[in-house]
Structure 1
Amino acid sequence: MASFAKYHTAKGERWLIKIALTDPLTKEKIKTTRRSEAKLVAKQLEAEEAKQNKNIKSHYFYKDIFLEYEEEYSKHLKPSTIYRKSVDFKNWILPTFGEKRLKDITKKDCQKYIDFMSTQLKSYKPIVIQARNVFDFAIQNDYIETSPFNNTVYPKTTIFEDDEKLEKFWDKEQSLYFLERLKATGTLKRYALFRTLLLTGMRKGELLALQENDLHEETQMISITKTLFYDENGNYQLLKPKTSSSVRDIHLDPETFAVLKDLIRQNKKLRLLSGEKVKHKFIFIKESSFEPFRNSYVNEVLNKLCKRFELPRITVHGLRHSCASLLFAAGVDIKVVQKLLGHAHIETTMNIYTHVTTEEIEKTTDLLINYLNEPKKKSSGGQKVVKKPK
């Protein structure tokens, strides 16, 4: 509260105001005095103090408000999503905003950040949205009044504009060659793993989460009901698949079903020999621990196999794309392919179909040009009479 004291000067009657204000960060009381129209100044100072106290957290660092925001959103997301977000914040957001106070971050800072991010990543917008979500959280909790991201804009073009390509994939001949070589030279586990990926179009996490009871002998089907996730501490978790459409049953061809059964029998023998009791009976396991492989392991092995078999290098996701291309080439309906691959939206399946057919058209054009450029064969008989077209 303020105290007032009247005193006289040569110019007339004046007021001395003494007031104690609270520092919003240290909570210390700061005494100040003013000489003026007493009541008016006191009201102004008290209003200033009330405003500071209301928006006290605007003086906090961005990183501190982020921790509050993280605690809130973590209640509603899957562990894998929480982990991805934390990585994004650590690598792309906190280095820019973390050590700044909310009140000091300007629209210019935010626009500069957007422009920078557009030069670093193809899919930079989701990260920018995460950065601005912290400000929206602060507004909802009355820490600040407006977001400095308001009225910022995304660049119309980026350096990645011409580099948006779908995954590379193998055609029929390359796929068959890969399976033949792997069957002849690889282990049962590797053959079963990559045959299943290539001929079912499963995602990596879906495949590595498969357990023995997901294989159904009476129907020759395999059920996809979960996905595998390893956290930053090296502990695995079984989560729900990417979307509700990802939960599905896939009918296996006889050979794929047979090699999976053989692999399960091999795993059972290993468990009996070791006496190991396991919580989850995964199909694709590390023989040393009976735990599932990490996601990165599958890509590492595929890279080596591509090099050994002298095939175009593709990723595990490229095997999924290859499966789709083989299904299209076999005349399978697009809606059926969508269901088999577990796509939530038909547009995703259509994009692959368009990519596949575009590449086939390009190959056909190349064949035509090669044919036209072939050297003319010399005639072994008499001369042929060629009539000019009318």
Structure 2
Amino acid sequence: MWHEQFTNKHNKTQYRFYEKYKDPYTDKWKRVSVVLNKNGKQSQKEAQKLLNERIESKLNDKTPTDLKTLTFHQACDEWLEHYKNHSGSKTTTIKEKTSNTNTVKSAINKDVLINKITHTYLQDIINEWAKSHSTGHVQSLVIVIRSVFKYTFKYYDLHDISILDKIDIPKKAKTRNELQAKRNNYLEDSEVKELLECFDYLIKHKSHATRKRNYEMVKALVEFQINNGMRIGELLAIKTDNVEVENKTLEIDGTINWVTDAETGAFGVKETTKTSKSYRTIGITTQSINLLKTLMLENKKENQWNDKFIDRGYIFTNTAGSPIDLNKVNNIIKEATDISSIKKRVTTHTLRHTHISTLAQLGINLKAIQDRVGHSDYKTTLEIYTHVTDQMAKDMMNKLEEAKQL
């Protein structure tokens, strides 16, 4: 140990004591220091004790230098880049992860160091999210947080990620109306008939050719989805070469990602299906074949007379040849529902569930339905299937009661 005498800014004499030690990771000599007001034997003894404590602390600190300055925002950016390059995920999934990562970053100050974050700090943020986001969305945001911490644990030797075990997502009790709406998220035959009639009314009162074509296209889309049950992204990705007219089969081999096509500049690009289970070939009825043939003929006419139409092979298209915009689809479905007597909130998912309910009412077994609609988890199919068959049992008992009274 050695020392230096100096005068501080208040013009008082002080003593800086030094001790050196060898860094085991670099094999280089480093030093630590402490400042005391005196230089007697007692002060020297105190200085040596403090210097030894600092050296021990330095030797026991295994935190990498770069982790000491790593902010949570930097860790997020690094993890996301790693995810893009190594996950093998589809473009749509990467877009979703990017959006969720931005949401997470917006809730945390950009200067916050990741190794200083506590579980209570994170829990307060999660609790705020729970007030304005759905439980599913909050779960997605928490997945990002967990992924970022695990990435830092792996690549920066972040010692303690036990805070991840201490955070949880507040659960909201579903109201009776919410549960009932979920269970009844399909249309009865009479409701399907009324909805299509409302489309006919809207189409009849559209004078602009482009608007009329859009409404006709959405009506065809609604009818086709009800009869075949694919996801809306899968339906919009159908191309002419997916259709086997003679065999009456349809190959479902992709879904639409809403980006600009690099080659044509058109909007909407086909990418792989949601899961491997989603890739499938299904049988379709003569009615569905005729509907597709009508649309393909309409697109040929549009391509011949409309210079802006780019034929990329899609069937459910707008006047530019791109898959018809999903927001437009939803808005037109809502417009038709609003003029009907249907009290349910009708979405394209409602139409998909309607097909599943129809199959259940026809007595088709669960596995066959699951394969047809591309559910990787049978529980998703079972939830709809069970409700419909329960309702069928109630209807049967009602009819038996009525028959008994006659």
Matched, 1:79 2:91: yes
- Secondary structure in 1 matching 2:107: helix
Give the aligned partner of residue 60 of structure 1.
70
Paired-residue identity, %: 21
How many residues get paired? 354
Instruction: Give the TM-score normalised by the residue count of structure 1.
Output: 0.78
Matched, 1:138 2:148: no
Give the aligned partner of residue 377 of structure 1.
none
Q: Do the aligned partners of 2:309 and 2:321 also contact (CA within 8 Å) in 1?
A: no
Give the aligned partner of residue 221 of structure 1.
249
Give the aligned partner of residue 273 of structure 1.
305
Give the aligned partner of residue 97 of structure 1.
108
Q: 335, 338, 344: which is aligned to 2:367?
A: 335
Paired amino acid for 2:337: C
Instruction: Give the TM-score normalised by the residue count of structure 2.
Output: 0.75
Aligned CA-pair RMSD = 3.7
Matched, 1:17 2:18: yes
After superposition, the Cα gap between the structure-2 partners of 1:148 and 1:108, relative to the gap in structure 1 and judged at 3 Å, is farther
- The separation in 1 between residues aligned to 2:282 and 2:228, in whole angstroms, is 7
After superposition, the Cα gap between the structure-2 partners of 1:246 and 1:55, relative to the gap in structure 1 and judged at 3 Å, is same
Q: Map 1:43-54; keep pairs closer than 5 Å.
A: 45=54, 48=57, 51=61, 54=64
Give the aligned partner of residue 207 of structure 2.
none
Paired amino acid for 1:306: T
Give the gaps of 5 or more residues in structure 1.
8-13, 21-28, 375-390
Give the aligned partner of residue 389 of structure 2.
357
Matched, 1:173 2:204: no
After superposition, the Cα gap between the structure-2 partners of 1:4 and 1:279, relative to the gap in structure 1 and judged at 3 Å, is farther
- Secondary structure in 2 matching 1:236: strand
More displaced 10-residue stretch of structure 1: 70-79 or 277-286: 277-286
Query: Residue by residue, what CA displacement relative to the aligned partner does 1:76-101 show, whole Å, maximum 9, x if unpaired?
Result: 2211111112222223x223334222
Paired amino acid for 1:17: Y
- The separation in 2 between residues aligned to 1:345 and 1:53, in whole angstroms, is 43
Query: Residue by residue, what CA displacement relative to the aligned partner does 1:186-233 show, whole Å, maximum 9, x if unpaired?
Result: 464233211111100011100111111111122121211000011499
Q: 56, 70, 75: which is aligned to 2:80?
A: 70
More displaced 10-residue stretch of structure 1: 198-207 or 267-276: 267-276
Q: Map 1:1-390; keep pairs closer than 5 Å.
A: 4=2, 16-17=17-18, 34=35, 36=44, 45=54, 48=57, 51=61, 54-75=64-85, 76=87, 77-91=89-103, 93-99=104-110, 100-119=112-131, 120-123=133-136, 124-142=138-156, 144-147=158-161, 149-154=163-168, 157-160=171-174, 163=178, 165-166=182-183, 168-179=185-196, 182=199, 186=203, 188-231=216-259, 235-275=267-307, 278=310, 280-287=312-319, 289-312=320-343, 313-360=345-392
- The separation in 1 between residues aligned to 2:311 and 2:157, in whole angstroms, is 47
- The separation in 1 between residues aligned to 2:140 and 2:184, in whole angstroms, is 21
- The separation in 1 between residues aligned to 2:397 and 2:159, in whole angstroms, is 61
- The separation in 2 between residues aligned to 1:82 and 1:167, in whole angstroms, is 32
After superposition, the Cα gap between the structure-2 partners of 1:167 and 1:31, relative to the gap in structure 1 and judged at 3 Å, is farther
After superposition, the Cα gap between the structure-2 partners of 1:54 and 1:365, relative to the gap in structure 1 and judged at 3 Å, is same
